[in-house]
Amino acid sequence: MKYNIQGGTLPVVICELEAGEKMVTEGGGMAWMSPNMNMETTSNGGIGKALGRAFSGEKMFQNIYTAQGGPGMIAFASSFPGSIVPFEISPDNEMIFQKSAYLAGESGVKLSVHFRKKIASGLFGGEGFLMQKATGKGVVFAEFDGHVIKYDLQAGQQIVIDTGHLAAMTSSCSLDIKTVAGVKNKLFGGEGFFNTVITGPGQVWLQTLPLSNVAGVLRAYFPTSNS
């Protein structure tokens, strides 16, 4: 499979497949394709796997597209202005994604729910209890909000992140929360009570425009009900 990401801040990934190659996406992920791409809707691993994907922000059923009779083409577009990032998944390079980040991937990549080990991280960390874990072997495409900045963390090295800006991290990283110090800082600092802390070793990808932040800004312009 060969791919090309185009579109700048309104990105699309265009995949060129050899005959018999497959791509997997959730329902509605396909933007356009050549006529020889065959679609099959499946739970892709049974009801347990389907429920796990639903908990992590994806749809229960997935679509598998196969190039039949020769080379094929299929494109997957982002659902929000931002970035599409490719990741090469292997047993030595498993990834943790923010909820709903999965866009599409080769059939050798498996998507499952990733639970926070610490309840406090899920309650206050801003990312929720459930994230997505990509395992197996192959290329997977994830969509993130805004631009994406990547950091390489050494063992024990940390980065403190405001709520919602965590896009992805390698599974070797750990995640926890940190309370903002000082009552005035908590009440009037505008950054909330908690920050997310990522500890290396590993790599972390941060997004500049979390959708939750956009919703908060736009909420002030929505008319309120008088009822």
pLDDT, tens digit, 9 for 90 and up, residues 129-139: 578 999 999 99
Q: What does pTM read for this prediction?
A: 0.81
CATH number of the domain to which 46 belongs: 3.60.160.10
11 within some domain: yes
Residue 80 confidence (pLDDT): 87
Contact between 125 and 170 (Cβ < 8 Å): no
Handedness of CA 56, 90, 170, 212 (dihedral sign): negative
Range of the domain at 87: 2-216
Nearest Cα to Cα of residue 176 among 192, 190, 161: 161
221 within some domain: no
Is residue 160 predicted with pLDDT exceeding 90? yes
> What tokens appear for 146 in the block?
């805004």
Separation CA 23–CA 105 (nearest Å) = 6
How many structural domains does the chain have? Answer: 1
pLDDT digit string (tens) for 63-84? 999 999 999 999 999 988 999 9
Task: List C-alpha distances in Å: 196 to 160, 180, 209.
Answer: 6, 10, 16
pLDDT digit string (tens) for 27-65? 778 999 999 999 998 865 555 454 554 444 455 678 999
